[in-house]
Structure 1
Amino acid sequence: MMRIELVKRPQRSALFSMLSPFIAFALTIIAGAIMFALLGVNPLNAFEIYFVEPISQVWQLHELAIKAAPLILIAVGLSVCYKANIWNIGAEGQFIFGAIFGSIIPVLFPQFEGPLVIPLMLLLGMVGGAFYASIPALLKTRFSTNEILTSLMLVYVAQLFLDWLVRGPWRDPQGHGFPQTIQFGDSAVLPELMPDAGRANWGFVFALVAAVAIWLMMSRMLKGFEVRVLGSSPRAGRFAGFGFNRMVFFTFLLSGALAGLAGISEVSGAIGQLQPVISPGYGFTAIIVAFLGRLNPLGIVAAGLVLALTYLGGEAVQSALGISDKVARVFQGMLLFFVLGCDTLIHYRIRLIGMALMKPNGAKLEAAPKLEEAR
């Protein structure tokens, strides 16, 4: 019998660490070509429709920016969590709660108009996302619960709460029974960047500003150093006087606030009202974006654009080739698989260990074979 072990490499390859996202993307393309061939579609034609046609016109680039903005905002916040070795998987729920909190003004106080409406909505959105993220942070620091499970389970609570709101107390009385709120007023709609060219709004600018700000924090400020130290060596961080519980709250609140900002930006910009489903899974896709960007805020901008393209490509192949738009989810899943697989093999080597076979009475049947390593 053989046992497989992962052994940490004493020194990882800097070259392969840098090339890992590109290798993962190339492997995803190969696997995607096989998938399209099995579906009876010419892979080259499918890839042209999937990756080229969705960005061939100016208005389509605006659509790309709309899709990329929430992915970048959420992923930038998650990158800080993951750098600190704290696992916030519930950004989707924080996205939803940010949208709910930010929508309080246009839904409950539609008569309130003026230049302060949008800033207050954005602020409430960030507060809502941070509030919802504080729940798994509190549970982890107070009761040592697993933040992966609590943050993930809270996603479904948020989805059901939003569904209840738009079907119940917040439903538009003139909406002919449809589960949705009233349309936001003009003062509550996020302005478009270039109205004559497309629908892209200020949410994309917020994403770029957040990416630069977090990059500066992580690379130039003491707080970023604290995040990196506690993430790589919690014991060294404690000796340096860095509090782990404080870091749990800081990373959760920061990532939750950015997810909430993404939520209210999406609702006030691209949608214009609350409805039962306001996200195609941005909070989960942003996890892929964070790792594809190597947890670097500037790399996350590029990764966000690539993953946004998979959403547009999924819609394009559905209309042009009659393939389910779920092919986008397949691409995203394969990309995450190959990213994590490449990173694992860069940091670890596989060791096959031979195990001695035993007779029923406990005597050895044969000697264990020698160790064999796959380098």
Structure 2
Amino acid sequence: MFKLEPRSGSSRLMAYTSPVLAVLLTLLGGALLFALLGKNPLTGLEVFVVEPLRNWRSVSELLLKTTPLVLCALGLSVCYRANVWNIGAEGQLICGGLSAGSVILLLDQGTLYSPLMVLTLASLTGIAGGAAWAGITAWLRDKYHANEILVSLMLTYIAQLLLMYAVNGPLKDPNGMNFPQSKVFSSEYLLPHLFSGSRLHLGFIVMLLACGAMSVFLFRSFAGYRLTVGGLAPLAARYAGFSSRRALWMSLLISGGFAGLAGAFEVAGPIGQVLPSISPGYGFAAIIVAFIGRLSPFGTLLGGLVLSLFYLGGEMAQSRLGLPSAITGLFQGMLLFMLLACDTLIHYRLRWKK
């Protein structure tokens, strides 16, 4: 019989090797999955991993999907460092996209406003919408000691219903043949593309700048230090006079703001209108991204590239191999399972117990 025993110590190298090993094990598991589905494993992996990187257009789509994943993961990393378990980034993204889309529709009334002004207002409104939605979780946790995991998760479904109400009601396009969607935004009120022939937009540059800003905040500022200490050693933080209430509100508002910005970039970028589905699950996938990146800003950038590759690979597998859309979720689930298993073996060793 095996049992787990704590290791005396684990090096930083092992901690950063764990995500790499998890990705490799996921690919091996994916090869086995393709074989069980009656597909050639090597062909399946080529379609899933290599095809999305064949040309510049595919790479630009990879970077496009990386943008909302990393923005959501940046905020979640702040929460998890503070030991605040926000699971509702998806709902906060939806509220941010809905808020930003409403502003663009309000200003897109034939009067020519400055595109810079409209996009700036839409982005700020998206941040405010996501932060306000996360603020509900912070308020319920602060005032009534509600569990933030359950509250943030349940609020995601409320946000989805709110989005459905909006596109079937006040934001519905009267000339949209009764489809539940808003009218398409004017082209001047969309985020500018970075390259011709590519959908990659200015939000990608903002995301890179956000990674740098969050690195400074987490590792070079006293506020970031307080959040980290509060998550790692709550009793020590209380002894030092660090406010757990302040850490709760700050981490959730930052997380919601980043998720809301991701939603704003989606509606003002590749979507170009408000639809019943703003996100294919970026907010949930960002949880995996945050832990692959070891809760560090530039680590989440690498994790976002891996998860966006899985999104594109899943789409390729559907079109080229005829596999169901659930293949993307299967790979994401395998990656999370492998990551948890590798992390467990870093901190514990298996011993035979007679």
TM-score bin (small chain): over 0.9
Any gaps of 5 or more consecutive residues in structure 2?
none
Question: In 1, distance between residues paired with 2:7 and 2:85?
Answer: 24
- Check conservation: 2:4, 2:350, Cα contact below 8 A: yes
What is the distance in 2 between the residues matched to 1:59 and 1:27?
28
* 3-state SS of paired residue (1:165): helix
Alignment-derived partner of residue 95 in structure 1:
93
Secondary structure, in 3 states, of the residue corresponding to 2:231?
helix
- Aligned partners of 1:293 and 1:333: how far apart in 2? 16
User: Larger radius of gyration, structure 1 or 2?
Assistant: 1
Q: Secondary structure at the match of 1:183?
A: coil
- Which residue number corresponds to residue 258 of structure 1? 258
State the structure with bigger RCO (CA 8 A, min sep 6), 1 or 2: 2
Match of 1:205 in 2: 205
- Cα separation, partners in 2 of 1:219 and 1:248, compared to 1, 3 Å: same
Please report how far the alpha carbon of residue 102 of structure 1 lies from its aligned counterpart in structure 2 after TM superposition: 1.0
Q: Deviations over 1:19-48 (max 9, x none)?
A: 101111111111111100001111111111
1:103 match: secondary structure: helix
Aligned to 1:77: 75
> How does the TM-score come out when normalised to structure 1?
0.91
Amino acid across the alignment from 1:258: F
Q: Which stretches in structure 1 are left out of the alignment for 5+ residues?
A: 353-370
Q: Which has the higher helix share?
A: 2
Give 1:228 deviation, angstroms. 1.3
Q: How many Å apart are 1:8 and its aligned residue?
A: 3.6
1:189 is matched with 190
Following TM superposition, by how much is the alpha carbon of 1:350 offset from its aligned partner in structure 2, in angstroms?
4.8
Task: Please tell me whether the aligned partners of residues 103 and 125 of structure 2 are also in contact (alpha carbons under 8 angstroms).
Answer: no
Any conservation in 2 of the 1:89–1:151 contact (CA below 8 Å)?
yes
Contact 1:117 1:187 in 2 (8 A): no
Structure-1 separation of matches of 2:318 and 2:324: 5
Superimposed CA distance per residue, residues 255-302 of structure 1 (whole angstroms, 9 cap, x where no aligned partner): 100000000101100100001011100000000000011111111111
Q: How does 1:132-281 map to 2 (within 5 A)?
A: 132-194=133-195, 196-281=196-281
Corresponding residue of 1:125: 126
1:118–1:187 contact (8 Å) kept in structure 2: no
Name the residue aligned to 1:362: none
Is the CA contact (8 Å cut-off) linking 1:58 and 1:197 kept in structure 2?
no
Residues 75 and 289 in structure 1, CA contact (< 8 A), matched pair in contact too? yes
Aligned equivalent of 2:106, options 100, 103, 108 = 108
TM-score (norm 2): 0.96
Aligned residues: 351
Map of 1:61 onto structure 2: 59
Query: Which residue identity does 1:90 align to in structure 2?
Result: G
Q: CA–CA distance in 2 between the matches of 1:139 and 1:149?
A: 11
Distance 2:65 2:12 in 1: 32
Q: CA RMSD of the aligned region, Å?
A: 1.5
AA matched with 1:251 = S
Alpha-carbon displacement from aligned partner over 1:287-322 (angstroms, at most 9, x marks no partner): 000001111111111110111011111111111111
In structure 2, relative to structure 1, the CA distance for the partners of 1:5 and 1:81 (3 Å cut) is farther
